[in-house]
Amino acid sequence: MRHLISINDLDREDITYILKRAEEFEDVARGERNLKILEGKILGNLFFEPSTRTRMSFEVAMKRLGGDVVNMTAQEASSIAKGETLADTVRVVSGYCDAIVIRHPLEGAARFAAENSSVPVINAGDGAGQHPTQTLLDLYTIKKECGKLDGITIALVGDLKYSRTIHSLIKALTLFETKIYLVSPDALALPDEMLEEIGGDVSRARLYEVIEEVDVLYVTRIQKERFPDEEEYRKVSGSYRITLNTIKNAKDSMIIMHPLPRVDEVDPAVDKTRHAKYFQQAFYGVPVRMAILSEVML
């Protein structure tokens, strides 16, 4: 694996391999075992959009494996503020590091970065495009918490239009034998062209009709920052919320996932139920990103 730009870069076998590698790193991620396989390696974090989980879990993954990280976070404190192009920034940073992680508001920016980099580039989210490392940790969470990927029924809830997490995950899920329900307000529905492209057992549903059947309830935030204007956002803001009442007929084993951050779409009262797995999911980002970094750097 050289670059990781889209989940389409991986097939079922690649994904299965990365998830298996991640499992081998879990004790290292928890700090229970020392493994310095990335000693002497440096990761360059180029974040042109805010991030807590993705940036920090890449950093923790590198450091737990003995490597180091340099960050470019505040654009106003870098030469981007002087008008430096993305291509030039990537050319320079790829001379300093052994791999680059990039998050950018423009779809296609990560692929463009890869074309201008002399080292592997990992896409940490490009606009409403893709977020492949999130998908790998989502699949890892399902495998760990449900015990399998084949045979699961999953409801994808919320902003299916702009969520890059959903756009990556839905493609990966169709590589496995999954049944997918799309649950969203009409204005936030999965784009038709994406629905046609993915194939698989995918249908629109209302949550109350399918909640008893689902193994995974995957909830997303409304991606306010992607809306063309504030008025369009206001029309859908607060249009769905998962509460104790929403999940009262769910299976005991049903898990709730969320890539986080959440705003108001999951009632905090749900956090105390056995269903809530979103904080565990965020932790799984560390071993999964260890697996990815070791693939691209070694």
The residue count for the chain = 298
Quick one: tokens of 270? 């749900």
Residue 52 touches ligand CP, criterion: CB under 6 A: yes
* Strand stretches in the chain, DSSP E: 42-47, 68-72, 99-104, 121-126, 153-157, 179-183, 201-204, 216-219, 255-257
Sorted by sequence, the CB contacts under 8 Å of residue 192 that are 6+ apart come out as: none
Task: Fill in the per-residue mask, 207 to 236: x = in contact with ligand CP (CB under 6 A), - = not in contact.
Answer: ------------------------------
Please identify which residue in 6, 134, 178, 294 interacts with ligand CP, judged by CB under 6 A. Answer: 134
DSSP 8-state secondary structure symbol assigned to residue 75 = G
Q: How far apart are CA 198 and CA 166, in angstroms?
A: 12
Cβ(62)–Cβ(54) under 8 Å?
no
Nearer Cβ to ligand CP, position 31 or 261? 261
DSSP 8-state secondary structure symbol assigned to residue 272 = G
Q: How far is the CB of 45 from ligand CP (least distance, A)?
A: 11
Nearest to 72 by CA among 24, 26, 104: 104
Residue 123 touches ligand CP, criterion: CB under 6 A: no
Q: How far is the CB of 139 from ligand CP (least distance, A)?
A: 14
Residue 171 touches ligand CP, criterion: CB under 6 A: no
Nearer Cβ to ligand CP, position 258 or 275? 258
Please identify which residue in 6, 45, 54, 220 interacts with ligand CP, judged by CB under 6 A. Answer: 54
Nearer Cβ to ligand CP, position 41 or 53? 53
Please identify which residue in 260, 262, 283, 295 interacts with ligand CP, judged by CB under 6 A. Answer: 260
Interface positions with ligand CP (CB under 6 A)? 51-54, 125, 134, 259-261
